[in-house]
Structure 1
Amino acid sequence: MFCTLDRPGKGRGRLLLMLALLAVPSLALAEGNVLTLDNALRAARDNNPELAAVRWDIDIAEGERRQAGVLPNPELGWEVEDTRSGKQTTTVSVSQMFELGGKRGARLDVAGRDADIAALELERQGNVLRADVIAAFQAAVQAQEGLQLAEQSLQLSERGLQVVQGRVKAGSASPVEATRAQVQVSEVRLERGRAEQALTVAYQQLAAVTGAPMARFDSVEGRSDDDAAVPSRTVLLERLEQTADMRLARLQIDQREAALALARTQRIPDLTVSVGSQYSETDRERINVVGLSLPIPLFDRNQGNILAAARRADQARDQRNGAELRLRSEVIQALAQWGTANQEVSAFERSILPSAQQAQDTATRGFERGKFAFLDVLDAQRTLVAARLQYLQSQAQRNEARMRLERIFGDLDLASR
């Protein structure tokens, strides 16, 4: 980009505009320290090594499918009879094996099932990764809120200490109360330290699940599921058969059945046809040679592999039934946990937290006026801090229940419609 400075004022204006444009990326970089949920999900899809490893299974299955359809290679043979000079008989032949009994088609069927399983496994792993990212993201949000609450509690305790120290100087309170207030401040500072450590751990776990070796963000900012309604139990159970887990379980039955069909085709022997030319030095004559060979299935009829394949198919059916029972139980438990956590969160927001805050404010004002003892203030502070921590735990329980369902159904908003 070039510009001509026709006039001093005009050139100065263009220069300022260019400097402003150059400053835009630095502002975007500064804002990039805040990680959003959408960016975290995008980074996980692009960089998570476990999901990347699962993606390779699709190419692996495609390679195996191609190999399953390849015909056997012909064989070139060379044979010499009687090594004495002038009496040798030399035979050159080409042999080709022909698979009988539909072996090639059965192999292609098995390979096709394997490719379908690889695609479904990628979908299932994508659902699990999405739920893990959201869970780690929500845990980071919870850790941020926990640190904020710890800092608020510290400010509250320090204010109480200042009030006590003022009353001790005025001679209206015992120095013992100042000691108690100092102990309370020390305890809350330790809590804040633990909250800072929990936040560091949560950030690192979020970075790991998105495929980053370390957290390169300073905070997280994402959606809030506070208003999300508990999905209908009937709707989710009806759609259980459509989940990736159940489709994968059914497809594994089909794959085992295809493997059983392939094992049965192995009972039929393959035919080998050979065509060649034989030259005799004794007779000075060349003759054509045609041969057929066919194994006699006298002892090995692949009976052991057929039995094993049949039992694997039965095993896959039992595994499918077990997966359905497990998923049904998981859905019912997660919905119950979500409903209970929702009630707890509502109770905290509606009455418990406001009442605890009001009790703490009343106790502090009453202590300042000499109406309450400092033990009452400590009691109110501890009650408020405990209520806030329990409120965070209830939110965490609700998020955990939602993520349990997200791992099964994928995007729960779409699954519950």
Structure 2
Amino acid sequence: MKLNGLLAGLIFHRHSFGLSALLVFSLGFAAVSIAENGAPVAFEPNDEKTSDAYQPPTEEKKLTLRNAVQLALEHNPELAAFAKEALALQGLTLQAGLLPNPVIQYDGEDVSSRSHGPAARFDSLRIIQLFETGGKRSARTRAALLGQESAEQDYAARRLDLIARVANVYLDVLAGQERSKLALASQELAQKVADTASKRVIAGKAPPIEETRAQVALATANIEVEQAQRNLISFRRQLTLLWGDPAPTFTSALGELETFVVIPELNALEARLRQNPLALRSLKNLEQQRALHTLEKARRIPDVTLNVGIRRYGWDISNDTTALVGLSIPLPLFDRNQGNLMAAQQRVNRAVDDQAAMELQLRTLLTQAYESLIAADTQISMLRDEILPGARETFRMANRGYELGRFGFLELLDAQRTLFQNQTLYLQALSNYQRLINEVERLTAAPMEPANQKPQK
């Protein structure tokens, strides 16, 4: 199997959160992309019909990474919780832009005078309206909108992390399948060696201890097969649990491990870090805190309350009606919102520090992943071009020499063990290489260019 680079489309419909534009994050998981029928498959976004993005497994129940990602995006409960929070903040943005409700007030008053005349009644009806000054409503709306956009970036970051998790576990499944094939091949090889040793012992060309050693090596190979199969079962369950299915129904996962990318310079990758949803979220958080600081500054300006109404004089006095007009403005003598303004300024300062810390954290993680990726690429090249060909040739010569009686069994056993260990090491190096590409692409939120050169066999 090979694992070609996946271009996983992270689709984020902003209009579903009250906005009009469609924000598409193209996430290149080149390490864990799928090649079906020898051609790379891209997980491309669909603007209109999301049902077209998911293609159920075939009758053979062969799972693709596209199917796995779509299932996780649709059914993962953790991601659904973040989506609901973003929807909740849409309501807060709507609420922040609403005008204060008017107040209607009725007053009824009886005035009776036992010594000066008949009783009188006064009926008053007022409408009271608060008018916000200083741009409070627009500042409050902007702060709420930035909070909603920050939550959207948080949702995008969680979605990106989920795709990365699916890709990594899918990679474990592919590597587990290859590990099982390698263990079965080693078991078959050990069986052939055991049969050859048995024939040599029967023919009197070798002592019985060689047959015993061969049987021990065969038993070890059997244990390796069982362990590889158990690990594969565990990885399959871990994958399906990401979309809430505890019992895997697919028979195999499609994909290729031996696919490589062009590794760009570190400074070129660092320039892409600003597109990471976590970086965008920290930027939106800073903008929101500044908007809240602007709102607290506006709250220093007193609001105006206007009331208008009528008063009617009834009963025994003439039915006259009088217009009422009132205006009230708080005097900012003691409370000038200075405490809230100070707190808002400190939160702005903290947001600046948080943004710098997030940038440093992303840069540190990228540097670590990049250096490890370079080392993994070098290790793969050495194993593929130098070590594995030498180990295969050594085992071929040892096996042939053992059959002809020129080499002892220990030399053959050592050559067999060396070949199996280096094949296992090569598989682990490929898995590590693909996982590091996953990490780099997760941090940069962009795909890496696939290499055109095919690996040499």
TM bin, normalised by shorter chain, reads 0.7 to 0.9
Q: Deviations over 1:202-254 (max 9, x none)?
A: 22222233554442211111255623222232321233334333332222211
Letter in 1 for 2:67: N
Q: Distance in 1 between matches of 2:208 and 2:318?
A: 127
Secondary structure of residue in 1 paired with 2:100: coil
Q: Distance in 2 between matches of 1:282 and 1:302?
A: 51
Match of 1:124 in 2: 157
Structure-to-structure mapping, 1:5-404, within 5 angstroms: 31-81=59-109, 86=119, 89-210=122-243, 212-224=245-257, 226-280=259-313, 283=317, 285=319, 286-404=321-439
Gapped runs of 5+ residues in structure 2? 1-55, 114-118, 452-457
Further displaced range: 36-45 or 227-236:
36-45
Q: Say how many residue pairs are matched.
A: 389
Q: Deviations over 1:45-99 (max 9, x none)?
A: 3333333333334433332221111111111223344597955544332211111
Further displaced range: 80-89 or 293-302:
80-89
Secondary structure of residue in 1 paired with 2:448: helix
Match of 1:5 in 2: none
TM-score when normalising by structure 1: 0.84
Letter in 2 for 1:323: M
Q: Distance in 2 between matches of 1:187 and 1:380?
A: 15
Label 1:398 to 1:414 Cα distance change in 2 as closer, same or farther (>3 A). closer
Label 1:355 to 1:101 Cα distance change in 2 as closer, same or farther (>3 A). same
Gapped runs of 5+ residues in structure 1? 1-27
Q: Distance in 2 between matches of 1:146 and 1:414?
A: 27
Over the matched positions of the two proteins, sequence identity in percent amounts to: 34
CA RMSD of aligned residues (A): 2.7
Deviation at 1:32, TM superposition (A): 4.7
Q: Deviations over 1:4-34 (max 9, x none)?
A: xxxxxxxxxxxxxxxxxxxxxxxx9754511
Q: Distance in 2 between matches of 1:261 and 1:225?
A: 55
Match of 1:9 in 2: none
Q: Distance in 1 between matches of 2:449 and 2:189?
A: 44
Secondary structure of residue in 1 paired with 2:263: coil
Secondary structure of residue in 2 paired with 1:412: coil
**More strand per residue: 1 or 2?**
2
- Contact 1:132–1:403 (CA under 8 A) maintained in structure 2: no
Deviation at 1:328, TM superposition (A): 1.8
Further displaced range: 210-219 or 150-159:
210-219
- Contact 1:127–1:409 (CA under 8 A) maintained in structure 2: no
**More helix per residue: 1 or 2?**
1
Q: Distance in 1 between matches of 2:61 and 2:152?
A: 35
Secondary structure of residue in 1 paired with 2:248: coil
- Contact 2:108–2:123 (CA under 8 A) maintained in structure 1: yes
Q: Distance in 2 between matches of 1:84 and 1:375?
A: 123
Label 1:95 to 1:30 Cα distance change in 2 as closer, same or farther (>3 A). closer
Label 1:232 to 1:162 Cα distance change in 2 as closer, same or farther (>3 A). same
Match of 2:10 in 1: none
Q: Deviations over 1:93-115 (max 9, x none)?
A: 22111111211010111122123
Q: Distance in 2 between matches of 1:111 and 1:215?
A: 43
Secondary structure of residue in 2 paired with 1:297: coil
Match of 1:22 in 2: none
Q: Distance in 1 between matches of 2:57 and 2:101?
A: 60
Label 1:167 to 1:70 Cα distance change in 2 as closer, same or farther (>3 A). same
Q: Distance in 2 between matches of 1:188 and 1:269?
A: 83
Letter in 2 for 1:303: Q
- Contact 1:127–1:408 (CA under 8 A) maintained in structure 2: no
- Contact 2:126–2:308 (CA under 8 A) maintained in structure 1: yes
Deviation at 1:361, TM superposition (A): 2.8
Secondary structure of residue in 2 paired with 1:100: coil
Match of 1:25 in 2: none
Q: Deviations over 1:278-329 (max 9, x none)?
A: 3455745543332223333333332222222111111111111112222222
TM-score when normalising by structure 2: 0.77
